[in-house]
Amino acid sequence: MSNIIIKVEDLKKEFKIPKKAENLSLWKQKLSWFYREWEIKKAVEGVTFQIQEGEILGYLGPNGAGKSTTIKMLTGILHPTSGSIEVLKGLNPFKNRREYTQEIGVVFGQRSILAYDIPVKDSFRLFKAIYGLSEEFYQERLDMLVTMLGVDKFFETPYRMLSLGEKMRCELAASFIHQPKIVFLDEPTIGLDAQAKITIRKFLKEINRKENTTILITTHDMDDIEELCRRIIVIDEGIVAYEGSVKRFKEKYANTKQVDVSYTLVTNKEKLLQLDTKYGIENTIEKSKSYEFPLNESLGNFLKELVSCVEIQDLSIHEPKLENVIAEMYEKENKEKKKREKLRN
């Protein structure tokens, strides 16, 4: 039986912003100091979804799509214009904020929750007091997180002296110190090097497996999503454009697969040139070819033709990258929008 931990229905958020005063006369510009016209910006428009307990969900979209606004409503920072959010079987993030915040962790990739000038360990002591943790639980929990994230080497260093990757590992440890049921991660790997990203992904998978922690993650790093998430929600201009598995998303929106082959000898130059012309993509490696193969054609027939042209040393077939599929989806959606607008006009 499914156990829904977050339930969002028809969630909307609108902001009242001042209209830009362009091409106004001097008199009207002076009047605008006292009288300002306003317009409504719809940041999130009718979003509905559910998250199961223990799920790691990817919440994706371009800049300005409404991802961070949604997370701020889910964490109780912003109040929705309309719609409903129910978490942990009956809590409202805004109305039950005090009780709710004891059960969640939050990491905003560009904003720290740790004190800037004091050693990291002192910030953790502060969180111990905020969450009312016993000394025994705190020490046991701290030892586990410090070990898992490799924080011990710089635990007594002031936060401001840490590298970006070290800071993020400390942020994550602090967010999980009270063993939250839900954790919201907004761009947790932004600007990090490859090794730091690997450490963080490994930690998130392990903590999710051990403690069944529900995690909602927004990121522009599609490797994070492919590594961590089975299900994604893609939003565009505040509206859900896709909800479902990563696999089904690729099947729905991807058009090609990439075939890479290395060979020892060409046996049919003319036929190989035909394949290069039809499917070939740039590849500068000697005795190696790369092909972009349409999914609506027979891959088996293509491979038979390829084998008849070269003596193959190695061959690999790659699924399309998620970021490329998402870009194609947005391009397709934009074309359809333009068509609809032309029909209206």
Helix (H, G, I), strand (E, B) or coil at 227: helix
- Closest by CA position to 93, among listed 218, 219, 7, 15: 7
**Which residues, 6 or more positions from 297, have their beta carbon under 8 angstroms from its beta carbon?**
none
Question: Can you say whether residue 316 is alpha, beta or left, with left for phi > 0 and alpha for psi between -120 and 50 degrees?
Answer: beta
pLDDT tens string 138-171: 999 999 999 999 998 898 999 999 998 899 999 9
Average pLDDT over residues 258-285: 92
* pLDDT range class, residue 245, cuts 50, 70, 90: very high
* pLDDT range class, residue 299, cuts 50, 70, 90: confident
- Closest by CA position to 190, among listed 236, 213, 160, 223: 223
The answer on pLDDT for 19 being more than 50 is yes
**Which residues, 6 or more positions from 144, have their beta carbon under 8 angstroms from its beta carbon?**
none
The answer on pLDDT for 1 being more than 60 is no
Q: What is the CATH number of domain 55-79+88-250?
A: 3.40.50.300
- Closest by CA position to 66, among listed 185, 241, 237: 237
Q: C-alpha distances in angstroms, 303 versus 275, 294, 314?
A: 10, 13, 12
Q: Give the residue with greater pLDDT, 268 vs 321.
A: 268
**Which residues, 6 or more positions from 108, have their beta carbon under 8 angstroms from its beta carbon?**
186, 187
Q: What is the CATH number of domain 255-318?
A: 3.30.70
Average pLDDT over residues 269-273: 93
Q: How far apart are CA 271 and CA 254, in angstroms?
A: 27
Average pLDDT across the chain, whole number: 88
Q: Give the residue with greater pLDDT, 1 vs 28.
A: 28
pLDDT of residue 30: 63
Q: How far apart are CA 324 and CA 19, in angstroms?
A: 36
Per DSSP, helices labelled H in the chain are 26-31, 67-74, 97-101, 120-131, 135-149, 164-175, 194-211, 222-228, 246-253, 269-279, 299-307, 322-344
Q: How far apart are the first and last CA of the chain?
A: 50
Residues 68/237, Cβ–Cβ less than 8 Å: no
Predicted TM-score (pTM) of the model is: 0.81
Domain boundaries, the chain: 55-79+88-250, 255-318
Quote the Cα angle for 272-278-281, to 5°. Answer: 85
Tell me phi and psi for residue 191, to 5 degrees.
Answer: 75, 5
Question: Can you say whether residue 284 is alpha, beta or left, with left for phi > 0 and alpha for psi between -120 and 50 degrees?
Answer: alpha
- Closest by CA position to 164, among listed 8, 172, 86, 309: 172
